[in-house]
Amino acid sequence: MAKKKAWSGRFDGRTDAFVEEFTASIPYDVLLYRQDIAGSIAHARMLGKQKIIPQADARKIVAALTAIREGIESGKLSFDPSQEDIHMAVEQFLIRKLGKTGGKLHTGRSRNDQVALDLRLFLRESIDDILAILEKVQEAIVARAEEFFGVVVPGYTHVQRAQPVLFSHHLLAYHEMLTRDQDRFRDARRRANVSPLGAGALAGTTFPVDRESVAAELGMEGVCENSIDAVSDRDFAADFLYACAVTMMHLSRFSEEMVYWSSAEFGFLSLPDALCTGSSIMPQKKNPDVPELIRGKAGRAYGNLVNLLTVMKGLPLAYNRDMQEDKEPVFDSARTVKESLIGAALLIRGMSVNEGRMRGACDDGFLTATDLADYLARKGVPFRKAHEITGKIVRYCEKNGKRLKDLSLKEFRSFSPRIGEDVGNFVSLTNSLRMRNVRGGTGPRRVKSRLEALKKR
């Protein structure tokens, strides 16, 4: 049977039992209990300091809130749907402890500014966690890129072997992506870290609150300048969900490579047993579940972003109950990104590399054809023409079952008299890499210096 509500003054009858459950957010917003209590403690202290409530009451409230947090953590306090949401639940615990004094906490505040604050604080913490794990993944990348320095692998376009690259260069590409991911999260953090408290329900409050001191106590960088905006918008949460979606997109591409590079067909990598599972029917199988699940979970992250944008798109200002739907996508994306990053770090640390297979794949497939064209261009053949000549040479090789390095000088010269003795050197893998000594390129010296720079960071 439904219990008496905090807002029951205006109501005649009890809430329908289904409606009570349907409207409750407590089953999931319990996750916000720490943020909710932190916000309430800052608010109560300010109420006391501003003499909006007696200092002694403020002190009692702060002590009781601290005890409530401990009660929740130890499991002594439990929740039920009649409490509606975490804000009501904490207030109910407070009133149970302090009686009338507990009822003073909500002075000059609304759940509308309170919930916006809680979500902002939650995002801030999630972002700090994510940034720390992102850094771990990057450390793992740098360590392995250093370990495998010198290993050559085909670089691909259209999943066709294209040009040889250092495996380290390939790994470090992900490092760059993750650096931009960090930027996106930091940006989202900056916009989230602003206090809406003082906005009240939507129009501000009649009490002489000190918004800045509350914000400062909570470690926030400022206050929302418009009370209607403060309780209405969730763009800061969408920023976070977008950052999560992009990170998951990066992790998903990485995972995709883990999956197929560890297949028998490629055989470039193998994943440690600890990160794989077997099949219930095929005894020979070792499945790359971790990267597959990371790849699969990108779907949630995209969904969560679209979810929130859709919830928000038709809402008139200011608060609407629809906005209660903002929380689950945020919680889900935060968890998904954290877990996926932990999985990615395990994969990077645990994978073993089959250098022979990688090099073997570079040996056939004409990976140095571009170098041959560049060679001709250096000898004065216009690049377009050089491209055409090289194309003909490749066709000739294919027909005769030869690789570029198998051709004799005579065979080469039958395609262009400009080809000289030095061509053999030019079309070697080592030379192909060495010549790409452009900033950002796969030339070993460039990769090494990038690696050193990243190690120092």
Q: Which residues are catalytic?
A: 158, 279
Stretch that binds ligand ARG, among 64-72, 319-327, 425-433, 442-450 (CB under 6 A): 319-327
Stretch that binds ligand ARG, among 93-101, 171-179, 320-328, 432-440 (CB under 6 A): 320-328
Q: Which is nearer to ligand ARG, 50 or 324 (CB)?
A: 324
Per-residue mark of binding to ligand ARG, 10-39 (x: CB under 6 A): ---------------x---x----------
Per DSSP, 12 falls in state: S
- Asked whether the beta carbons of 44 and 114 are under 8 A apart, the reply is no
Q: Which is nearer to ligand ARG, 237 or 376 (CB)?
A: 237
Please give the helix or strand (H or E) that residue 153 lies within, else none. strand 152-157
- Asked whether the beta carbons of 213 and 49 are under 8 A apart, the reply is yes
Q: Which amino acid is at 319?
A: Y
Stretch that binds ligand ARG, among 277-285, 317-325, 369-377, 420-428 (CB under 6 A): 317-325
Number of amino acids touching ligand ARG (CB under 6 A): 10
Q: Which of 112, 193, 390, 442 binds ligand ARG (CB under 6 A)?
A: 112
Residues 223-262 contacting ligand ARG, CB under 6 A: none
Query: Which two tokens mark 321?
Result: 């109950």
Please give the helix or strand (H or E) that residue 169 lies within, else none. helix 167-192
User: Nearest approach, Cβ of 15 to ligand ARG (angstroms)?
Assistant: 13
User: Nearest approach, Cβ of 24 to ligand ARG (angstroms)?
Assistant: 8
Per-residue mark of binding to ligand ARG, 385-424 (x: CB under 6 A): ----------------------------------------
User: Nearest approach, Cβ of 112 to ligand ARG (angstroms)?
Assistant: 5
- C-alpha span between 17 and 372 (Å, rounded): 77
Q: Which is nearer to ligand ARG, 24 or 407 (CB)?
A: 24
Q: Is 85 in the site for ligand ARG (CB under 6 A)?
A: yes
User: Nearest approach, Cβ of 25 to ligand ARG (angstroms)?
Assistant: 4
User: Nearest approach, Cβ of 319 to ligand ARG (angstroms)?
Assistant: 6
User: Nearest approach, Cβ of 321 to ligand ARG (angstroms)?
Assistant: 6
Instruction: Establish whether the linkage from the previous residue to 318 is cis, with ω within 30° of 0.
Output: yes
Per DSSP, 326 falls in state: G
Cα four-point dihedral sign 394, 398, 400, 403: positive
- C-alpha span between 42 and 48 (Å, rounded): 10
Per-residue mark of binding to ligand ARG, 335-374 (x: CB under 6 A): ----------------------------------------
Q: Which of 105, 134, 145, 323 binds ligand ARG (CB under 6 A)?
A: 323
User: Nearest approach, Cβ of 322 to ligand ARG (angstroms)?
Assistant: 9
Q: Which is nearer to ligand ARG, 174 or 331 (CB)?
A: 331
Taking the C-alpha atoms of 422, 427, 433 and 439 in order, what is their torsion angle to the nearest 10 degrees? 70
Strand 269-270 vs strand 352-353: parallel, antiparallel, or unpaired? antiparallel
Q: Which is nearer to ligand ARG, 83 or 101 (CB)?
A: 83
Q: Which amino acid is at 127?
A: I
Query: Which two tokens mark 176?
Result: 């760059």
Q: Which of 64, 90, 105, 115 binds ligand ARG (CB under 6 A)?
A: 115
Query: Which two tokens mark 198?
Result: 């003082």
The phi, psi pair for 3, rounded to 5°, reads -95, 175
CB-neighbour burial class of residue 46 (10 A; exposed 0-12, middle 13-18, buried 19+): buried
Question: DSSP states of 199-266 as a string?
Answer: -TTTT--SS---HHHHHHHTT-S-B-S-HHHHHH--HHHHHHHHHHHHHHHHHHHHHHHHHHHTSTTT
List residues near ligand ARG by CB under 6 A.
25, 29, 85, 111-112, 115, 319, 321, 323-324
